[in-house]
Structures are given as structure tokens and as C-alpha cells.
Chain A
Amino acid sequence: MPTTLQLTDGTLTVDMVTNADVKLSANYLPVFSTPAGDGTIPGEITESLPVYIYVADDDDLSDTLQDVARLGRYAAEYRAKNHQTPVWFYRQMQDESNAVRTLVQSVSFTPDARFAGLFDRAPCITEGRTGVLTITHHPYNEAVSAVAASGSNGVSVIGGTVNYTDVVGDVNARLYYLNIDNIATARVYRRVWAGFRSDRRAGGDAGNVASLWELELGAPGSSSGVTTDPTASPGGAGNTKVNCNFSGGADAGWANRLSILMSDVTANYGNQVGAFVVLLRAQVDTGAAQVKIQQYNNNAAVYREGPTVDVDATGWTLYNLGTCEFPGRDLHATPTALFAATYDQRDGFEIWARVKPGAAVPSLDMDCLILIPADEYLIQVQSAEASGAASNQGDKIYVMIAPEDTARAMNIDAVSSYFNIHCPVSVIGAGIPAGDGRLFIAIANDNAGTAPTFSDTVDVELSTYPRWVHFRGND
């Protein structure tokens, strides 16, 4: 039997354990959802609790039934986004160390006539009026309180990382908030990518995931060569970039401008597993180029091609070249035990580029690729397109996930601490994978305002609500 079983919005509570008004009339067995293996959140759960209402008179009965009805209305109003507080269903079993709560979608009470009619008072004073309390709620149970925030300071804006540890639960945790703070001097941040990679998914250690691929470590292609540039990131061979000049226009069509293999970047091939968003740090001096990636394994003739992207900013910025997935081989047909390392190290990219039709011939600089994990939990914030920054020096960017798994992002003005603007946010995945792992960050402007430099850093903080499908136990 549970020691805690109640419906509450924080003010009004219907307690089915200690409350004398509504009590369980039979043993309570929780209903569990079935987690989907593809990372999506299952459908709602409906539980039917047999209860009896034990009251002294009809006024008492109406009070109790009205409380139940009110909570049902509050839950429906919250669901309809009418700015109400949520209604929670709290539960803790008798020998369980900790309680959980789940977001209520609807509540209803249906009386039955097991002991005379509902409104026959005499027998119900001793036996109680019986019925079924039906509660529909979110499929996941979460911790009653958020886990204390953790994070890191001085995280690089181009592929910087933040470790997270000990995310408990048997399903993905809800990200309560992700705070990006201490934005550098006179910078404009308008796009944020934040991808989570668990140790389990990363072949045991997400710390070995190489998110920053310095392109000078690869092999320049047609009309391309490595040059130094103090504004290029210092990783790899130093402050260097790969420049493609299209031979002044004589080599303007599509051609491979750079090849880079995984073995050029890291020896931890077994940890570079999963899908990633591929960002390119690039710039032009004039005109525009078009760029696309081709991901291949060993044989460049068999590849996965990304979308064609215009590169037209005269300052360094990040361009989304689509997604990639490692390893390039079919893991079912060619398991790791047979084809590790020597095979996967040949995974890589070709970066193809051409002069954008109709544009002046540019000199295209390519600094690095940033790989942001995309298949466990990916958050992308994009500020409004109107002029004006998503955030300026000192501002904060908050990404918050509400109990019903809706994502919100907003920019907090540093001077006034008011909400500056709300930003569109896209989320892929059901939450942060349980266990240990790493968060990967990339931040950029979008051709407006002062771009982040390679040395820019931010402070990153996150807080979570662990979740369980079944029991919480002693977690």
C-alpha cells in the first residue's frame, strides 16, 4: 500500500492515504507505461482508483466532491494553457524511500451503488460512499524536487563540453533548465546548439567524443590550401584554416575542397557513435559560396550527402551542414567485435563547394567542423529574425522544459533582469539520458552583430528532474 497518494495543485489537496474523506477502498497497484525504444515519450496513462468517500453528512460529501472536481478543472485548464498551475499526482509506496509525482491531465469521479445509492446517507456513514477516481497523467513519474544545478564555467562556444553525472531514473530525465550565462564582451549570440551524449551511447565514455574537427588536419582538395589566420581556432595545427580560392573563378563548379577522416582527428573511434549535427565554421571575403558535405566510409564513391548551404558572411559564423551518423557501416550486419577501429577510422567527410551561381567569386575560409550529438537529446535555440540580438554581453539564455515536455527559451536582459525576448526553440528527444554523459555546446550569431570568436566562453548550468516509469526506490 502507498504511504503517499494524493492529488494537489500546491494549494488544494485530495489525499487518499491520510485524508479521512477520500480513501482507497482496495489495494493500489500503479499502472506503468511502456517506454519506447526510439526515445519518444509514450502516451498518457489512465489509472482507476477504487475509493470510498467517508463523510458525516451531505455537506461534507459536497465539499469533497467539489475538491475533486476543482482539481479536475485545474488540470484541464493547465492542459489548455490558460495560465493555471499544474496538478500533480504524488505517490510513494510503503517500503519505498522516496516519493514521485506525475503531471495530471484529467481527473474524474464516478460513483457506484455498491452500498445503496450515493445519496443514501445512513449506510454511508459507516461504510462510506464508493466510486472510482479516474486519473489520466503523464507516463513518466518524476522527482518531487529538481536535482541541484551543476555545470561548468568557461565553456568554449565552439564545441565546448560540460560533464553531467549521476542522472538517475529508468527513462530520460526532464531538463528543468539550461542556463547559458556570462556572455562575452560585445557579442551577439543568436543561435545555440546543445546536444547530450551519454557514456553508454558513446561506447562507454562521452569524454572521448571528438566534437571539434580542425579541418587543417585533413587533406585540402581542389583549389584549397592550409593557411594561418589568427582568428581561426588554435586547435589542431594551431591558428590555421583551409582556404579555397576557386582559382579565381576558373574552378567555380562543384568539387571536393577538403577531405578529413576520423583518424585525422581522434583515435577514439569506438566513442564516435551516433548521429550528429555538423556545423561548419566558415567565412568568405566577398560574394558567396555553396557548401555541402559527403559522409563516407573508406569509399568516397558511396556517400551520404547533406543539403546545399550558402556561405555568405564576411565574418566567422557557423553553418548547419545537416546530420551525419557514425559509424558509416551497418552495425547489425557488421558488429563492433568484427569491425572495430581499423574500419571506423576510415569514416570521414568530403566538403564540396562551388561559387554560388550569380555571386562574385569568393575566397572561402573553412576553420573547423563542430559535431553536436543529435540523436539522444538536442536543443537548438534560434533568436527572432528581426534586428536586435538574442543576447548581448552579460545576458543570459534560459532554456526550460515544462512538466508537459514543452520547451521554452528566453533571453534575460542583463541590465534589468527582465525577459528580453522569447526565442523559438527546437527539441529532439525525450530528455537527458540516465547515467553519466556530456553536453556539447555551439553558439553563433547569424550575420548580424559581432560574431563570437574562437576564444569566447560561457558559463553553463543545468538542472534536471529525474524520471521513472516504475518505482523510484532509493534513488
Chain B
Amino acid sequence: MFSLHLFQRLAEGTTWEQSLTDYARYTWRRTTRATGGYWAGDFVISGCSQYRLQQLYSTMIGKRIQEWSYGDVQWEGEVVELSMTLNGITHTQSLDSELWHNRVKVEYTYPRVDDVQQGVLAYVAPGGDPGFQDTLQDFSDYEVLAGDATHEITVLNNDGSTCQGYLGEATVTLNPEDSIWVFQDLGRGMAGWNGTTVAKVPISYEVSNVLLAGTQLATAWAEQTGSSDIYGESEYIDVMADECYLAAAEATRDRRLSAYAYPRSIPTGGLSSGEAQDTGNQLAVSCAGYVFGMNRRFYETNVASLDISTQIATLVAASEFVTAGSILVNTDLQVPLTGGDISTKIWDCLEGLIGMSDSSGNRYRGGVRAGRLFDYDLATTDVLYQWRNGRLEYANGQPVLPTLIRPDIIVRLDAPLTVAPPDANDWNTSFQITISEVEFIAPRSYRLVPEEGDVLQGSY
């Protein structure tokens, strides 16, 4: 009823590599969703040589999978996890974004305080202008010779009062650069302190960057192109737990990139003691639709409110492997994109947009289909199927082939007498259900997941 084929990783090409049909004939299963499209799949390879298992384990991760049935692609995705068990030991490799990312940036908080007291403190007036001294400090790091001040100082006095000022040029009182002139304004036009220093004894101080102190910043993206050229991009945004400067954030970024740029094989589970070691050699393959791959990129731009279909097309265009298929023009809704404020993964953003109804209450569905094409369209309102005698049939009574069942269908149930709402639409009538997800289970079974209610299970 179906065949399963392995292709190159999309970042490397589109060439067909081999048929997996024999391996997956009785273990293949996959799901498709009305919102999302091709969703998840998995199968188990067993009964072949150890060499074959190892060869597949070493080469399959990230490669493209297509299920063909009756002459057309019925499911498409990529291998995202492999778990190989040989002689009782299991190794796993995964494209989970927490375990694999080749494009990284780090968000960090600029330190609120750049410097504090080092030595003996005093209010001074070198050359007659107000200033401040720390006998063991080097204020040249914070001096400004022209333009606005970059740093400010806040001094705590012995009586609990504070004085604040903007730092100008460093100078010497006792030691080189141990003093600095202070201004009341950022532009350094008025020498002096904000607050009185008369009869005050300074006991501590904080120097802060005027613009950056406590602000949220981010490093530039760094990419391991050797990995992305093979597997495609996988973006990751790390967050520093503590305040730090750019150098530390960049070092963290680069270390993470070095550690996670390539999928790693990790031993999982343990030796099965007391049991035969020669049983259970297998390779478990987990696949995901390319809709998940859209979440490997962040959208980081703000876009003013536009038609929702325009925004959907913009997001789709920002993904790496998915392109626009059939995107219904929808001018009934206008929405902004706020990725500049909060970095958002592309599919997460799309999912939210698809879930929005218009002013007429119409519902929409969207997702990735064959060819990595993204569709967006109205959800169906036509009843074209029925559930009878434990199987799904077309309205004309013919059974539906399991591999050809699509989500976003309305199924009339062979149900006893029910009460319909007075304003019943096809899609909310009590004896009809809308199927939001379908699962094909080889060789010929299926599950239909309705928006509400129990799962329907059938076979051909």
C-alpha cells in the first residue's frame, strides 16, 4: 500500500538514496495535522546485519523521508532522531534544538555597576572644578574628553545621602588617573554634583554606564557553517544567568557552538545485565515534518499590521526549506509581527496566526505539505465522509484508502438519534465530527483524532 524512500539532506541536495520500504513495511506510522501538515512519523529497522544498522545510524540523521502511495507523496519529513540498540547497548542522536544547534547568539544583561571603590575616597576639586578621588582607582577607563558622558558615578555618604554626577576627564590628585571631574548633566556643560557634597564624607560609590547599565543586549549570531551546510540551520538563543560583558557572552556563545554544532551520539540506557546480549538489535527512526524545521529559525523583526495572509507569507519566506504553496488571500484580519520585541520561532508564530478566526467566524487551517510547500486556507465546512461499520468511507459509500486519508475533514457518524443545536453548522453538529489529525499505521490501519471526542480507529 505504500513505499518509503530516503533522500539526501535538503541542505546537500535532493537526490534519492534508497528505498526503506522493506524495513518499514510493518512498523511505519505517521501523522498529519490540519494545522501543521505532515507532523510526525517513526519506524523500526530490525532483522538486518549489524553492519547495516551501524551504516544507517551513521548516515541517516537529518535525511529526507517520503512516503509514496498510489503514485503520489502522502507524507514527507526528515529523520530527527535515531536510537540504535546493538548487543544491549543503546546510542541515540537527535536533532532536538537543545542538543544540536549550529547558529547561536547569547542574550545578556550589561552589568548595572561597572566599578566600585578601591582605595581612600574623597571629594576633590582639581583645578577648582568639582571632582572625585579614589586613591587606588584608574578612572581613565570611564573618562570622556568630548561629547556626552558615557558613565556616571553615584556616591554614598556617611550620613546616608548620595551624590550623583556624570564623569568627564580623568586627572591626578595623588596617583595618576585617581581622580575625575564630575558634571551635573550628561552633556558635561555644568560642572558639579547632583546633591550636596558639603560636609559629606564618601564611603562607597558605583560607576555605571549611562546607556547600557542593566540593559538587555545580545551578541551577534555566530554560525558553524560546516554543520549548516550539511544539516541546515538550527538557531539557538542562550541567556546568560548573570550580568556580564560582551566578551563573556561571546565566549559562552562560541563554547556552546563548539559543543553542539554537530549531532552527537550519546549512550542512553544501560547494559541489560542477566539477559541475552544478542537480542533486540534494532534501529528506531523518528521523523518530523518540515513544519518543525521552521522552528529552527527565529523571526526577529517588527512589522506593522498587514493582512494576515501577507504576514504568513513573510514568515514562510523567512524559513530555510519551506516555501509558499497556496496561501489564501485574507484581508479580513490585520496583524503585526513583533519578532523584534521578542524573538519568536517561525512555526510558533504561524501557528498563532492560523488559529485566528476572521470577523465572520471562519476557521482556517495551514501547514506544510509535499514539496515543503506551505498552505493556508479556509477549514472545510463540507461533509464528505462517513464513519460506518468501524471504517471511514466516502459519502458514496466507498472505503477510503488508509494512506490517502487527510485531516481537516468532517465525518458523519453512524450515530443514534441526537439533538442538533438550533443553528447547527455542518462542523458543529453533534453527529458529525471534524478530524484534526490522522495517523496511518502500517500496513493498513489508521486513527482519526477529532477536535473533540474519542479517537476513531479503523483499518482497510
Contacts and interface: CB of A to CB of B under 8 A. Distances in A.
A406 interface: yes
A423 B384 contact: no
Interface string B6-35: 010000011110010110000000000000
A52 interface: no
Given A81-B48, A323-B404, A424 B16 contact: yes
Given A81-B49, A427-B3, A380 B396 contact: no
29 contacts: A79-B48, A80-B47, A80-B49, A81-B52, A82-B49, A82-B52, A303-B394, A303-B395, A303-B396, A310-B326, A320-B72, A322-B70, A323-B70, A357-B326, A357-B327, A357-B377, A358-B313, A358-B326, A380-B70, A384-B7, A384-B16, A407-B21, A408-B19, A424-B16, A424-B68, A425-B3, A426-B2, A426-B68, A428-B1
A382 interface: yes
- Which interface residue of A77, A82, A310, A428 has the most chain B CB atoms within 10 A? A428
Nearest to A277: B71
B397 interface: yes
Interface of B: 1-3, 5, 7, 13-16, 19, 21-22, 47-49, 51-52, 66, 68-72, 313, 324-329, 377, 384, 394-398, 401, 404, 406, 443
A346 interface: no
A305 interface: yes
A426 B49 contact: no
Contact of B398 (A328, A356, A372): A328
Interface stretch (A223-231, A290-298, A456-464): A290-298
Given A77-B49, A82-B49, A426-B2, A302 B324 contact: no
Given A302-B396, A303-B384, A310 B325 contact: yes
A201 interface: no
- Which interface residue of B52, B324, B394 has the most chain A CB atoms within 10 A? B394
A305 B16 contact: no
Nearest to A192: B71
Contacts of B70: 277, 320, 322-323, 374, 378, 380, 428
A329 B14 CA distance: 43
B16 A422 contact: yes
A304 interface: yes
Q: Specify the main secondary structure of chain A where it touches its partner.
A: strand
Contacts of B69: 426, 428
Interface string A319-353: 01011010011100000000000000000000000
A96 interface: no
A408 B21 CA distance: 11
A304 B49 contact: no
Given A357-B327, A357-B329, A406-B22, A320 B71 contact: yes
Interface string A342-376: 00000000000000111000000000000010100
A404 B48 CA distance: 14
A425 to B, nearest CB: 7
Contacts of B325: 310
A386 interface: yes
A249 interface: no
Interface in A160-207: 193
A77 B52 CA distance: 11
Contacts of B19: 406-408, 424-425
What 7 A-B pairs come out closest when comparing CB atoms? A80-B49, A304-B394, A426-B3, A385-B14, A426-B68, A380-B71, A384-B16
A386 B8 CA distance: 10
Interface string A400-433: 0000101110000000000000111111100000
Contact of B328 (A40, A325, A357): A357
A34 to B, nearest CB: 17
Contacts of A330: 397
Contact of B395 (A302, A357, A372): A302
B16 A358 contact: no
B68 A296 contact: no
A329 B396 CA distance: 7
A369 B49 CA distance: 46
A307 interface: yes
B16 A385 contact: yes
B326 A386 contact: no
Given A80-B52, A81-B48, A356 B326 contact: yes
B188 to A, nearest CB: 57
